[in-house]
Amino acid sequence: MINLLALTIFSALVTVHGCGDHDGHVHSKRAAPYVALSPPSRPLEWGDINILHTTDTHGWLLGHQKESFPEPNYSGDFGEFSSFVQRMKAIAVQKDVDLLLVDSGDLHDGSGLTDGYPPGGVNGHESNKFVQQLPYDIMAIGNHELYVYEVAHDMYKNFVPKIKGHYLSSNVNITVLDRKGSMVSVPVGKRFAKFKTRKGRKVTAFGVLFDFAGNAKNTTVQKVADMVKEEWFARAIKDEPDLFLLAGHMPVSRNNWPLVFDAIRAVHPYTPIMILGGHDHIRDCVQLDGRSMSLASGRYMETIGWMSAKLNYRGSQRNVTFSRRYLDANRVTYKFHTGRTDASFDTFKGLQISRGVKALAKKFDLGYLFGTAPRDFLKYMAPYPSENSLLSLFIEEASPLASSVNNTRASIPKIMITNSGGLRFDVFKGPFTKNDKLTTMPFSNRWVFIPNVTFSVANQVVSTLNHAGADHRRRSELASELYALGDVEGRFAEWLQDMDRRSGSERRAAGNLTIGYVTTDACPGLGDDTLHAPQPFHSIPDFIGSRPPNVTADATVDLVFVDFIQAQLIGILNSLQKEKNYTPTDVAEYTALKTNEILGVYAQHAWN
């Protein structure tokens, strides 16, 4: 991994101190960061109303724990974030201003704390108990709350009641049994919320999900264009608040926020609007007019978003002064902005949460060692194919080996295909644990196959999926289909590529900055809180395939693929030949091994 600074390694000191907010209590302090981290470049700009924002956390409550950069930038755990929120709330009281805490969805799928539950459990049930301990003013539903009905029902039954009216699902319903035993469709959370801030400001809030098409049976997602035409929506926006707060799992650029925004503006042309979006996993900001700001705050507890607004009197038509900032989620950032030292930063609750997430990790056996990775395997920072490519590792080495274990079809030549978006995170040199296995590939998709496909046809499927021949329209349709199912990697990759293209080589060559995010958005001023050099970027295809077997063109092979891409693959297969019209009835399970088990099995065989 690239390292642009001579990094100072700190010893892991443990001290005892008073927690500051509970006199008489003493606790073990968390160890200092294991590498020197760059501090923020300047203080935050506070306004009359201020927001701390999280989105797409996907269970990354343990913090990023690897030593290869950029991981240390995001090394703060959820307990430290809790302490940060509590300290910032106290500062807001001192400044006599409002500070709200908002989340824009996707609490599930992505780490061992969510996905590592034992048989009989539910994804995110235990990890969400820590999330609900933070004083969120508004939370919105994400698409990862809806892939599996049991997850959606767990949110409805166990999580939403704890948020006490502040969990919003404006266009998302779930079908449940009512008290009479009848099936009824009801919102997972509330359609909207109206509340007053500490300073008495009236807020009307919504929680909107993008037009998601991959939701489970007995859940429904209403299109945003239809939602804003509902009678309940018109009633909700009739009275003018001091502020409209639109939280939702929807990108702030290239999506449907303007539909919601325009519906409100048709009734209230000048009321301030603050939009907190997400889903694309990027840092982004736009202003739809001079009295609004829209912010997205990254992914995986890497970024804490900040937005502030200096409000003028109600009815004013003058522009509102906004600021925004993207904070690296680490202890150095948190101490800088709260003015605290190691000895005075942690709160009693924060330390409790830090201990709790570590205890849950131990309960789920997330430290179980499968093997030791010989080097970093990188998704975007290494070229594909190459020996350092995560994609090469997964589809060329790990999947063929692991899927052959205890498989009666192991001796039959095969081609394996998956979408690159399923690989969510890098593998770093050193111990490869159960937690690493689940963060790299959190999805438990099935491997399925079609037997007896002519090799000359099967060997064209990957390239045709990626390029759709000369039919660029079809390729665009495939990308749109995947996006509607929740695959955001295409847009995340565009963002990384643009970042590297703008200044990557020059800033890395300077050697005075660690690598991290370098954001260019549509809002004025500098958005990044800490200065970095962009990480290197190498383009990758949407679909990847294993090495072709050494057989003749007319030989037959097993065409193996993940069930997530079944519809797209069958369509392509039928376009490549006319001998047989393939349908879902031709598809069967290839192995009982799920996609999120592949790297663990491989590591046990190859890295010991």
Q: What is the 3-state secondary structure (H, E, C) of 361-395?
A: HHHCCCCCEEEEECCCEECCCCCCCCCCEHHHHHH
Type of residue found at 395: I
- The pLDDT tens digits of the residues spanning 250-288 come to 999 999 999 999 999 999 999 999 999 999 999 999 999
- The pLDDT tens digits of the residues spanning 446-495 come to 999 999 999 999 999 999 999 864 456 666 777 788 889 898 988 999 99
The predicted model gives 201-213 an average pLDDT of 98
Helices (H), 409-488: 434-440, 455-458, 461-467, 472-484
Q: Tell whether the model's pLDDT for residue 13 goes beyond 60.
A: no
Q: Is residue 504 part of a domain?
A: no
The pTM (predicted TM-score) of the whole model is 0.90
pLDDT tier, 600 (very low <50, low <70, confident <90, very high otherwise) = very high
Closest C-alpha among 508, 507, 509, 482 to residue 493: 482
The predicted model gives 548-567 an average pLDDT of 97
**Residues in Cβ contact with 384 at an 8 Å cutoff, skipping those fewer than 6 apart:** 391, 392, 538, 540, 541, 544
Are 239 and 325 found together in one domain?
Answer: yes
Are 94 and 79 found together in one domain?
Answer: yes
Q: Tell whether the model's pLDDT for residue 51 goes beyond 60.
A: yes
The predicted model gives 293-307 an average pLDDT of 98
pLDDT of residue 404: 96
Cα–Cα distances (Å) from 158 to 163, 217, 220, 286, 602, in that order, read 10, 20, 19, 35, 37
Are 83 and 136 found together in one domain?
Answer: yes
Are 431 and 483 found together in one domain?
Answer: yes
pLDDT of residue 34: 58
Closest C-alpha among 361, 297, 335, 349 to residue 63: 361
Helices (H), 69-178: 78-95, 112-115, 128-131, 149-154, 160-163
Are 75 and 201 found together in one domain?
Answer: yes
Are 472 and 581 found together in one domain?
Answer: yes
pLDDT tier, 15 (very low <50, low <70, confident <90, very high otherwise) = very low
For residue 113, what is the domain's CATH number?
A: 3.60.21.10
Q: Tell whether the model's pLDDT for residue 1 goes beyond 80.
A: no
pLDDT of residue 32: 46
Closest C-alpha among 437, 487, 468 to residue 214: 487
For residue 419, what is the domain's CATH number?
A: 3.90.780.10
pLDDT tier, 35 (very low <50, low <70, confident <90, very high otherwise) = confident
The predicted model gives 222-243 an average pLDDT of 98
- Give the span between the Cα atoms of 498 and 283, in whole angstroms: 13
Q: Taking a C-beta distance cutoff of 8 angstroms, is the pair 278, 55 a contact?
A: yes
Which residue range is the domain that position 425 belongs to? 369-490+539-606
The predicted model gives 523-547 an average pLDDT of 96
pLDDT of residue 27: 35
Q: Taking a C-beta distance cutoff of 8 angstroms, is the pair 43, 7 a contact?
A: no
The secondary structure of residue 156, as a DSSP letter, is: I
The predicted model gives 62-87 an average pLDDT of 97
Q: Taking a C-beta distance cutoff of 8 angstroms, is the pair 353, 79 a contact?
A: yes
Instruction: Among 363, 392, 426, identify where a domain stops.
Output: 363
Q: Is residue 323 part of a domain?
A: yes
pLDDT of residue 467: 85
Type of residue found at 441: M
Are 558 and 466 found together in one domain?
Answer: yes
Q: Tell whether the model's pLDDT for residue 6 goes beyond 50.
A: no
pLDDT of residue 477: 77
Instruction: Among 363, 395, 422, identify where a domain stops.
Output: 363
- Give the span between the Cα atoms of 156 and 122, in whole angstroms: 13
CB atoms within 10 A of CB 216: 15
pLDDT of residue 475: 65
Are 279 and 307 found together in one domain?
Answer: yes
Q: Taking a C-beta distance cutoff of 8 angstroms, is the pair 470, 553 a contact?
A: no
For 258, the token pair is 């303007």
Q: Is residue 193 part of a domain?
A: yes
E strand or H helix at 196, and its extent? strand 192-196
Share above pLDDT 90 across residues of the chain, in percent, rounded to a whole number:
87
Instruction: Among 363, 381, 405, identify where a domain stops.
Output: 363
Are 316 and 436 found together in one domain?
Answer: no
Rg from Cα positions in the chain:
25
- The pLDDT tens digits of the residues spanning 367-384 come to 999 999 999 999 999 999
The predicted model gives 167-191 an average pLDDT of 96
In degrees rounded to 5, what are phi and psi of residue 536?
Answer: -60, 150
- Give the span between the Cα atoms of 486 and 281, in whole angstroms: 12
Type of residue found at 34: Y
Are 285 and 151 found together in one domain?
Answer: yes
Q: Is residue 511 part of a domain?
A: no
Q: Is residue 514 part of a domain?
A: no
Check the CA dihedral 281-282-283-289 and report its sign: negative
What's the mean pLDDT when you consider all of the chain? 93
Q: Is residue 509 part of a domain?
A: no
Q: Is residue 502 part of a domain?
A: no
| Greater model confidence, 1 or 91 | 91
Are 293 and 324 found together in one domain?
Answer: yes
Q: Is residue 520 part of a domain?
A: no
Are 477 and 386 found together in one domain?
Answer: yes
Per the structure, how many domains does the chain have?
Answer: 2
